[in-house]
Amino acid sequence: MRIVCLHTADSNIALFDAAARAAGFEALELTHVVRADLLAAAEQAGGLTEAIASQTREVLLTLTDNAHAVLLNCSTLSPSVNDALAAQAAPVPILRADAALAQRAVENGGKVVVLCTVSTTLEPTTRVFAQAATHTTAEVEVKLVSGAWDRFRADDTAGYLSMIAIAADAAYENGANVLAFAQTSMAGAAYLVKSGAKPLTTPTIALAAAVHAATLAA
Protein backbone atom coordinates (compact mmCIF):
# COMPACT_ATOMS: atom_id res chain seq x y z
CA MET A 1 0.00 0.00 0.00
CA ARG A 2 1.28 3.43 -0.93
CA ILE A 3 0.38 6.54 1.05
CA VAL A 4 1.52 9.93 -0.25
CA CYS A 5 1.97 12.64 2.39
CA LEU A 6 1.93 16.35 1.60
CA HIS A 7 3.98 18.26 4.19
CA THR A 8 5.03 21.87 4.63
CA ALA A 9 8.23 21.14 6.59
CA ASP A 10 11.06 18.75 5.73
CA SER A 11 11.47 17.76 9.37
CA ASN A 12 8.07 16.08 9.37
CA ILE A 13 9.24 13.33 7.03
CA ALA A 14 11.37 11.60 9.66
CA LEU A 15 8.53 11.82 12.19
CA PHE A 16 6.11 10.06 9.84
CA ASP A 17 8.65 7.42 8.85
CA ALA A 18 9.36 6.71 12.53
CA ALA A 19 5.64 6.52 13.31
CA ALA A 20 5.10 4.01 10.50
CA ARG A 21 7.87 1.79 11.87
CA ALA A 22 6.60 2.05 15.44
CA ALA A 23 3.06 1.13 14.34
CA GLY A 24 4.30 -1.95 12.51
CA PHE A 25 3.38 -0.69 9.04
CA GLU A 26 6.33 -2.52 7.46
CA ALA A 27 4.53 -3.10 4.17
CA LEU A 28 3.45 0.53 3.91
CA GLU A 29 5.23 2.61 1.28
CA LEU A 30 5.33 6.24 2.31
CA THR A 31 6.06 8.91 -0.26
CA HIS A 32 6.68 12.44 0.96
CA VAL A 33 6.18 15.73 -0.86
CA VAL A 34 7.12 19.00 0.83
CA ARG A 35 5.59 22.32 -0.19
CA ALA A 36 6.83 24.80 2.39
CA ASP A 37 5.87 27.60 -0.01
CA LEU A 38 2.17 26.95 0.54
CA LEU A 39 2.41 27.46 4.30
CA ALA A 40 4.69 30.46 3.82
CA ALA A 41 2.10 32.03 1.52
CA ALA A 42 -0.67 31.40 4.05
CA GLU A 43 1.40 32.91 6.86
CA GLN A 44 2.13 35.98 4.73
CA ALA A 45 -1.57 36.31 3.92
CA GLY A 46 -2.56 35.95 7.56
CA GLY A 47 -4.33 32.65 6.95
CA LEU A 48 -5.55 30.31 4.24
CA THR A 49 -6.97 32.19 1.25
CA GLU A 50 -9.13 30.64 -1.45
CA ALA A 51 -6.29 31.03 -3.95
CA ILE A 52 -3.89 29.09 -1.72
CA ALA A 53 -6.57 26.49 -0.97
CA SER A 54 -7.20 26.04 -4.69
CA GLN A 55 -3.48 25.61 -5.33
CA THR A 56 -3.28 23.07 -2.50
CA ARG A 57 -6.19 21.10 -3.98
CA GLU A 58 -4.42 21.00 -7.35
CA VAL A 59 -1.30 19.60 -5.70
CA LEU A 60 -3.30 17.00 -3.77
CA LEU A 61 -5.04 15.78 -6.92
CA THR A 62 -1.73 15.36 -8.74
CA LEU A 63 -0.49 13.22 -5.84
CA THR A 64 -3.30 10.69 -6.27
CA ASP A 65 -1.50 9.08 -9.20
CA ASN A 66 -0.18 5.66 -8.13
CA ALA A 67 -1.33 6.23 -4.53
CA HIS A 68 -3.86 4.37 -2.43
CA ALA A 69 -4.49 7.45 -0.27
CA VAL A 70 -3.16 10.99 0.08
CA LEU A 71 -2.65 12.63 3.47
CA LEU A 72 -2.50 16.41 3.91
CA ASN A 73 -0.28 17.06 6.88
CA CYS A 74 -0.62 20.79 7.51
CA SER A 75 -3.26 22.15 9.86
CA THR A 76 -3.18 25.59 8.25
CA LEU A 77 -3.85 24.17 4.76
CA SER A 78 -6.23 21.41 5.92
CA PRO A 79 -9.48 23.25 5.08
CA SER A 80 -8.44 22.86 1.43
CA VAL A 81 -9.86 19.33 1.76
CA ASN A 82 -13.48 20.42 1.43
CA ASP A 83 -16.56 20.10 -0.77
CA ALA A 84 -14.74 21.78 -3.66
CA LEU A 85 -12.15 19.02 -3.63
CA ALA A 86 -14.77 16.31 -3.24
CA ALA A 87 -16.55 17.66 -6.30
CA GLN A 88 -13.44 16.97 -8.34
CA ALA A 89 -13.91 13.24 -7.72
CA ALA A 90 -10.45 12.19 -6.55
CA PRO A 91 -9.73 8.56 -7.49
CA VAL A 92 -8.41 7.71 -3.99
CA PRO A 93 -9.16 9.03 -0.48
CA ILE A 94 -7.63 12.41 0.40
CA LEU A 95 -7.51 12.94 4.14
CA ARG A 96 -6.76 15.71 6.63
CA ALA A 97 -4.27 14.65 9.27
CA ASP A 98 -5.79 17.06 11.77
CA ALA A 99 -9.29 15.64 11.31
CA ALA A 100 -8.04 12.18 12.28
CA LEU A 101 -6.34 13.65 15.34
CA ALA A 102 -9.50 15.51 16.34
CA GLN A 103 -11.69 12.42 16.09
CA ARG A 104 -9.34 10.46 18.34
CA ALA A 105 -8.95 13.27 20.87
CA VAL A 106 -12.65 13.80 21.56
CA GLU A 107 -13.93 10.22 21.41
CA ASN A 108 -13.92 9.69 25.20
CA GLY A 109 -15.18 13.15 26.16
CA GLY A 110 -13.69 15.19 28.98
CA LYS A 111 -11.70 18.39 28.81
CA VAL A 112 -9.61 18.31 25.64
CA VAL A 113 -6.82 20.86 25.29
CA VAL A 114 -5.26 21.30 21.86
CA LEU A 115 -1.93 23.08 21.57
CA CYS A 116 -0.78 24.90 18.42
CA THR A 117 2.37 26.86 17.66
CA VAL A 118 1.40 28.64 14.41
CA SER A 119 -1.18 31.40 14.62
CA THR A 120 -2.61 30.61 11.18
CA THR A 121 -3.66 27.18 12.41
CA LEU A 122 -5.77 28.42 15.33
CA GLU A 123 -8.96 28.99 13.35
CA PRO A 124 -8.94 25.77 11.27
CA THR A 125 -7.87 23.70 14.27
CA THR A 126 -10.62 25.16 16.43
CA ARG A 127 -13.17 24.44 13.71
CA VAL A 128 -12.16 20.83 13.04
CA PHE A 129 -12.02 19.93 16.74
CA ALA A 130 -15.36 21.61 17.43
CA GLN A 131 -16.92 19.67 14.58
CA ALA A 132 -15.47 16.40 15.85
CA ALA A 133 -16.78 17.10 19.36
CA THR A 134 -20.33 17.84 18.21
CA HIS A 135 -21.67 14.39 19.05
CA THR A 136 -19.49 13.77 22.10
CA THR A 137 -19.29 15.10 25.65
CA ALA A 138 -15.84 16.60 25.04
CA GLU A 139 -15.14 20.23 25.87
CA VAL A 140 -12.40 21.54 23.59
CA GLU A 141 -10.01 24.40 24.22
CA VAL A 142 -7.42 25.37 21.61
CA LYS A 143 -4.35 27.29 22.79
CA LEU A 144 -1.38 28.89 21.06
CA VAL A 145 2.08 28.33 22.55
CA SER A 146 3.23 31.90 22.01
CA GLY A 147 6.78 32.34 20.77
CA ALA A 148 7.39 28.67 20.07
CA TRP A 149 7.19 29.00 16.29
CA ASP A 150 9.99 31.57 16.37
CA ARG A 151 12.17 28.87 17.96
CA PHE A 152 11.21 26.43 15.22
CA ARG A 153 12.00 28.96 12.52
CA ALA A 154 15.39 29.56 14.14
CA ASP A 155 16.14 25.80 14.06
CA ASP A 156 16.12 25.72 17.86
CA THR A 157 14.38 22.37 18.07
CA ALA A 158 15.22 21.78 21.72
CA GLY A 159 13.85 25.18 22.71
CA TYR A 160 10.75 24.65 20.58
CA LEU A 161 9.91 21.28 22.10
CA SER A 162 10.68 22.49 25.62
CA MET A 163 8.21 25.37 25.33
CA ILE A 164 5.52 22.98 24.10
CA ALA A 165 6.14 20.51 26.93
CA ILE A 166 5.93 23.29 29.52
CA ALA A 167 2.59 24.41 28.06
CA ALA A 168 1.37 20.81 28.05
CA ASP A 169 2.30 20.28 31.69
CA ALA A 170 0.47 23.50 32.58
CA ALA A 171 -2.63 22.31 30.70
CA TYR A 172 -2.66 19.03 32.61
CA GLU A 173 -2.18 20.85 35.91
CA ASN A 174 -5.19 23.03 34.99
CA GLY A 175 -7.48 20.05 34.55
CA ALA A 176 -7.03 18.77 31.00
CA ASN A 177 -8.12 15.15 30.58
CA VAL A 178 -6.77 14.82 27.04
CA LEU A 179 -3.99 16.75 25.39
CA ALA A 180 -3.41 16.90 21.64
CA PHE A 181 -0.63 18.53 19.63
CA ALA A 182 -2.15 20.02 16.48
CA GLN A 183 1.04 20.05 14.38
CA THR A 184 3.38 17.21 13.48
CA SER A 185 6.43 19.35 14.30
CA MET A 186 5.31 19.25 17.94
CA ALA A 187 5.39 15.46 18.24
CA GLY A 188 8.78 15.19 19.93
CA ALA A 189 7.55 17.26 22.88
CA ALA A 190 5.19 14.44 23.85
CA TYR A 191 8.14 12.59 25.39
CA LEU A 192 9.00 15.57 27.60
CA VAL A 193 5.59 15.94 29.25
CA LYS A 194 5.62 14.97 32.94
CA SER A 195 2.22 15.93 34.37
CA GLY A 196 -0.08 13.53 32.52
CA ALA A 197 -0.50 10.94 29.81
CA LYS A 198 1.54 11.20 26.63
CA PRO A 199 -0.23 13.76 24.42
CA LEU A 200 -1.85 12.65 21.18
CA THR A 201 0.20 13.47 18.10
CA THR A 202 -0.54 13.48 14.41
CA PRO A 203 1.79 10.97 12.71
CA THR A 204 0.60 7.62 14.14
CA ILE A 205 -3.07 8.59 14.26
CA ALA A 206 -3.15 10.10 10.76
CA LEU A 207 -1.29 7.19 9.19
CA ALA A 208 -3.69 4.70 10.74
CA ALA A 209 -6.63 6.71 9.38
CA ALA A 210 -5.07 6.80 5.91
CA VAL A 211 -4.42 3.06 5.90
CA HIS A 212 -8.00 2.41 7.04
CA ALA A 213 -9.44 4.68 4.34
CA ALA A 214 -7.29 3.12 1.63
CA THR A 215 -8.30 -0.37 2.74
CA LEU A 216 -12.00 0.50 2.61
CA ALA A 217 -11.59 2.05 -0.83
CA ALA A 218 -9.71 -0.91 -2.29
Q: What is the full DSSP assignment across 73-107? A: --TTTGGGSSHHHHTT--SS-EEEHHHHHHHHHHT
Range from 9-13, 44-48, 79-83 carrying the lowest mean pLDDT: 79-83
CATH class of the domain at 99-201: alpha beta
**85 or 168: whose pLDDT is higher?**
168
What is the average per-residue pLDDT within 158-165?
Answer: 98
Per residue in 135-157, pLDDT (tens digit) is 899 999 999 999 999 999 999 99
3-class SS letters over 166-189: HHHHHHHHCCCCEEEECCHHHHHH
- What are the structural domain ranges in the chain? 2-96+203-217, 99-201
Say which DSSP state 200 is in: B
Q: What is the pLDDT of residue 25?
A: 85
What is the average per-residue pLDDT within 112-121?
Answer: 95
User: In the chain, where do the E strands start and end?
Assistant: 2-7, 29-34, 69-72, 94-96, 111-116, 139-144, 178-181
Reported confidence tier of residue 89, pLDDT bands at 50, 70, 90? confident
Reported confidence tier of residue 26, pLDDT bands at 50, 70, 90? confident
* Amino acid letter for position 144: L
- Percentage with pLDDT > 70 across the chain: 99
* Amino acid letter for position 103: Q
Q: What is the pLDDT of residue 85?
A: 78
Q: What is the pLDDT of residue 83?
A: 75
Local structure of 61: helix, strand or coil = helix
Q: Examine the pLDDT at 12 and tell me if it is beyond 70.
A: yes
Q: Domain 2-96+203-217 belongs to what topology?
A: Rossmann fold (3.40.50)
**90 or 38: whose pLDDT is higher?**
38
Is 99-201 in the same CATH topology as 2-96+203-217? yes
What is the average per-residue pLDDT within 52-80?
Answer: 94
* pTM for the model: 0.91
Reported confidence tier of residue 87, pLDDT bands at 50, 70, 90? low
